[in-house]
């Protein structure tokens, strides 16, 4: 079995990488230097991705993970936001994934997991560009079995809320992490070990039929684990 996990050097991606290896997948560690979906040229020019294509490797699992973006630039003169921010978001969260999936080969029963965000359903003006682009990416995934003529292919989008990673600590500041956590709906944020357990369940080759196009994870990963188990 072979997996391709973007952004697997740290954070959420690293937990999916760990789970994939523990489940017996072959999977290279991929960082933004290897494949940056926000930079369309890096996908076709990436030595590692080009190698996959030239060797005709077939992937049983793909995790699409591009990380976060800066806030949308909004002004009184332009309340809908800077169009360039939307273009960048569409490249990173949809077009880049389209380019990648166009180049590689998927098995007939492949699992495609999209690391999305709760901003799709929790409307935040500063992240509108992210929500719009991620929505496009999610819809694209739902069409994959039809477009690729692989009816047994499965895809799911995971709308993560905050996860206690190094990136979260750097965004809110180490001194503010405790108060930030207290403001969350359950008074806590998901831990990386929760992501690992979810990844093991989703990527398991022995089962876990995705019963939904997406999972809202902003109210807790544990409840989603119960639903999927």
- Domain ranges, ordered by start, for the chain: 3-228
Q: Which residues of 205-227 are buried (b: 16+ CB within 10 A; e: fewer)?
A: eeebebeeebbbbbebbeebeee
Per-residue model confidence (pLDDT) at position 33:
80
Residue 177 burial (CB count, 10 A): 16
Dihedral over alpha carbons 65, 66, 70, 73 (to 10 degrees): -100
Residue 93: DSSP 8-state: I
State which of 119-123, 193-197, 219-223 shows the largest mean pLDDT: 193-197
CA dist., res. 218 & res. 117, Å (int):
8
Q: What is the mean pLDDT of the chain?
A: 81
- Whether 195 has a pLDDT exceeding 90, the answer reads no
Cα–Cα distances in Å, from 166 out to 31, 127, 191? Answer: 15, 20, 11
State which of 13-17, 171-175, 195-199 shows the largest mean pLDDT: 13-17
Per-residue model confidence (pLDDT) at position 171:
45
Is 120 within 8 Å of 191 (Cβ atoms)?
Answer: no
Between 84 and 50, the higher pLDDT residue: 84
Pick from 88-92, 180-184, 201-205, 217-221: least confident: 180-184
Q: Which residues of 88-122 are buried (b: 16+ CB within 10 A; e: fewer)?
A: bbbbbbbbbbbbbbeebebeeebbbbbbbbbbbee
Is 113 within 8 Å of 155 (Cβ atoms)?
Answer: yes
* CATH T-level topology, domain 3-228: Rossmann fold (3.40.50)
Per-residue model confidence (pLDDT) at position 227:
53
- Whether 177 has a pLDDT exceeding 50, the answer reads no
State which of 27-41, 121-135, 141-155 shows the largest mean pLDDT: 141-155
Interval 11-25 mean pLDDT: 94
Burial class (CB in 10 A: 0-12, 13-18, 19+), 38: middle
CA dist., res. 78 & res. 103, Å (int):
37
Place of tokens 């959420």: 12
Between 194 and 113, the higher pLDDT residue: 113
Supply angle C-alpha 57, 200, 155, rounded to 5: 60
Interval 5-27 mean pLDDT: 93
pLDDT in tens, 196-227: 988 998 999 876 667 678 887 766 665 555 55
Token code pair at residue 12: 């959420």
């Amino acid at each position: 079995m072979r997996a391709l996990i973007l952004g697997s050097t740290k954070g959420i991606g690293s937990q999916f990488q760990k789970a994939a290896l523990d489940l017996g997948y072959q999977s290279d560690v991929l960082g933004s230097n290897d494949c940056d979906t926000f930079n369309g040229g890096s996908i076709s020019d990436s030595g590692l991705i080009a190698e996959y294509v030239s060797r005709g490797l077939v992937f049983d699992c793909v995790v699409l993970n591009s990380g976060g973006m800066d806030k949308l630039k909004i002004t009184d003169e332009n309340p809908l936001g800077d169009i360039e921010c939307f273009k960048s978001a569409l490249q990173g969260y949809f077009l880049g994934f389209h380019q990648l999936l166009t180049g590689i080969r998927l098995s007939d029963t492949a699992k495609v997991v999209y690391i999305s965000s709760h901003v799709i359903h929790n409307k935040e003006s500063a992240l509108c560009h992210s929500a719009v682009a991620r929505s496009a990416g999610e819809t694209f995934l739902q069409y994959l079995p039809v477009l690729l003529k692989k009816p047994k292919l499965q895809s799911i989008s995971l709308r993560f809320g905050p996860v206690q990673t190094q990136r979260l600590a750097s965004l809110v500041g180490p001194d503010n992490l405790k108060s930030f956590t207290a403001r969350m709906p359950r008074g806590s944020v998901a831990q990386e070990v929760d992501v690992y357990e979810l990844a093991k369940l989703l990527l398991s080759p022995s089962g876990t039929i995705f019963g939904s196009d997406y999972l809202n994870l902003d109210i807790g990963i544990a409840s989603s684990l119960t639903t999927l188990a």
